Structure 1
């Protein structure tokens, strides 16, 4: 049911009621005559309104599409530095394009130059003009880019169970724009140029914006390099002196931070410059102007501005501030929803802290006011600050607990696939953060991160994204076997998840010998009645079933059922699951020798 249909229906009903009331009470016509006049008037108005409603359903996006497309666009920041020349250049690049395909404009420049805000301002302007489709895809990592694209594909009803992300995204790439106006899609913060290239739309009618600091990004389309904003312009817009802007490196992001600090602390600029000069970023962060820790140095003045803002906002003194900034720094660069952050602290404290940090220009929000964003420069400063204080391992452990509480069972995998995609992106980012401090990470935290990666494998397999599941499962198995040995329980669990991934990827025959090896190892190490051993026998049958080896599958399902019933009892849910699988395959046997039916898979239960 579209919004236009609801509006049209309400208007027709209102017109009918008013015409009837006026005809009968004001003009004193009879009831039957008044009813007839009201019906004719409503019909006369209703016909064009119905066409307007019907046209909206044909040409415009459904209500849920509008929600998804704009919800990820960053909201207007507390302090928005206007770039009229760059805005005109961006719009002019699209108007001047003469090619047959959709134009791609690539915004380039250093971190903090304002690329994201320029693209977001363009998107918000087009939305205000009523353009029907505005999509925002965060591309700080491959996983978060796919999460955004898949959310978009879901909104367009282009995602089908068991077809995987590749097919859904390809449908999206070839999908014609919606409505009579051009559609806009922004790929923000591209790190891997070649990874994003296959996802650029091919159909005419799109306006594509890419923001990136990566080398070779200009190869994706028409480059619009953001030149440093003149100190005079920054000074005029921010209220800071030109000298202050110069000390901050002339970057909009650092000017934003400085202006917020001056405003929130109520200090004069001479005092601020004195504080700025006293900050030794190289000592505090192991980076900055001396480049002592990382290959990429912070822009001059930018790290110092971020550190002063962090100190003023309570990073060192307020536990909720430190916790939220730490979590956002190690989770997906695309940001986190408030629902996830509410698990970290009291919701009222979270909302109040987010609101305060937005005023300090340390955080941003999305237009739906749900997503909370951390600028890449601030992220890097927070991570290095946590590392210098030896707090980063603790933050990673806390984040793993937080994400772990947000996971759900495989029976909900498809219905909650959007949440699952976001969690997979968070887990990928968390795994990267954990790898950077693996030597100092506690065994418990290491185990939790590994468990989350295993969950991500099963989630991908359960929604039919087999190729991604296999890639992740293979990497986990290799790491576990290298570090722990092939017979360690974690290594065997990783191999078991790889079997599930092989089935999801349509490579069931490759999973059978692996599942048999895991079963043999678990029987020898754990014994035939251990829950993991029973689950492995189910996995063997599961792989055989989807490889079309139905006779072998029946044999192993039958034995698994007998053992489950003996150990757990005939009415146990796990026993009943195995019984259902056995009945299903027995029913298929006579008509399906050597082949298998299509449809939703029932994956082995987690063990």
Structure 2
């Protein structure tokens, strides 16, 4: 009704009623006062609501645009409800709360990766609005052309379009029309990709409401954001049960394998229904053996226009090359997530871009980035098809190398979490390398970089620099303490050649009887006939080498921490990889074997280590020569493994001969010679010759003080072992002050929780016990045990030994 008509009615009816009331009152002889009251009530009671009614705007009135007409109930094609639709109540309630609000022109953005069901959620809300009598406009906004086409239809259906209107004019008219709405109206902008494209269309006031679906978090700036992720486990299994019309024990496994992604579940359900009908177990086998762009392709009749892989790669295609390459790297690293620390600050921009496209997610604290399983598979498979997978693996591996190779020995214990993270990523990368190696077709390199490496030859091998490491070995009984149980004390530390690790189960080497080794002369160590060397393709080696190098370095760090159990599978995998690529006699393969032997030694299997050390010593002697530092280092390790196996008496002549050969072939300050002399002094102490060991330690300390600065950490380790030799010689009173001094200096130089410091304090507790200061021994053992558990874990060898010593000392003090 026109507004002027309302005004006439609102003015005429009360006046007419008033006149009629006055006539009736006069006719009945009522007084003037009474008549006035009656007339006033008759006029005011209907007049007030009529005046309010006349002032209201006409519902469904459009903007003052020429030719506009009332809005149709539906503009565009609202998707129908799919079979087995999951209502996702919490998300639906959240959408209703944001859009059904008294504030003007609310905007809500459903943000999530492709295929998570954003469009179906928006369509469900649109269908509810239609049922409630609220008009709906469904507009496609994936590209500028799609939006132009949808707005043209909107303008035509509402009568807004005039001849000669361009897109800007249509947008302006549509926005004005929406802002003039006085009753609810829903606009859905589906699959939006550009916030700047939509911003001019969004109303600033009025009763229209806007619902956007997108995979770009940048739309948060336009309205309230509702994150949409995969189905919950209950929703995914419920969907499969309803869609397949049955029950299958494999629904849970299939839902997890498909990452609970609604799009993937819909495609899988169609395959399960058939024909032919499949079981979940059969489909899972196919799923794991078939590229996802094949098995998860769009079936006929599926309302979503793309298959899973195509949908994912559409999102990847919208990112920058740097972001796409980073996502490819993440797809070959561990599925448990990648720490932001490992990626570095230079990756922040690419990560933000991937996060904005919902291709990655982040942990609550923002310290770890995750890639969903299907995204990983799609990106990984695409990299393989594009033949850039070797390049991706190499760049990811170089990240790992940079992370672990920068960790000094002194910082190894502080960076233990990072080291274990690199170990996990290294295992994932090696799986990808094996895919490349097993591919029958060669993988050409995609743009080799200037740092590409070729297989190293003998001339490229760096001389190892043995330092010192620690394990725990039972204290030697002495004449001064024949019947007393002794505290286990730390052993010497030895740093193997820099290595690289993995996570394959180690193949147990065959143990050779010690007697067969006791009389072995150095010449006999070189009797093995080397096999022909393998030279890999430079392209394959450039891909595999940084992976093996990173894992080898991880193994070396774990051995430094006395963690032979964790180091074993990593070192074994490096050996297998290098044997496969380089052959068994390549210097890098022998370096990996030496590290594997070291891991066996620190895992409590010194004779297993001896077998490998001898093999390496023989091969190095044949390949490099008997007096090469690497050969001499392996020979010294053979002797020392006997010492660690409790056969120090047999090891004494072996290590004395090796040190004599080292002194003849190497300079006095050569790291291999210094490590060999350390082995020699320790072996003499273990063989019941502590006085000889004390003299050897003193000479070594004097030489190291001439060669290195005062606070050299390894020199303090040697001094701690001198204190241990004092105790073994029955001179515990001399050992106590030396232990105390060394522990104080190591605390200052390395920190109170450094494993070297804790090992020294462990020895100090044993020295306290030897001189009868049991209470001090108990307190020190307790503190060392507590810190070992905190720093290295409760199951590490050093922790278990310290705990056993603490319990023994408490029993001797009659403490519970």
TM-score, length of structure 1 as denominator length: 0.49
Could you say which structure has the larger radius of gyration? 2
Larger RCO, structures 1/2 (Cα 8 Å, 6+ apart):
1
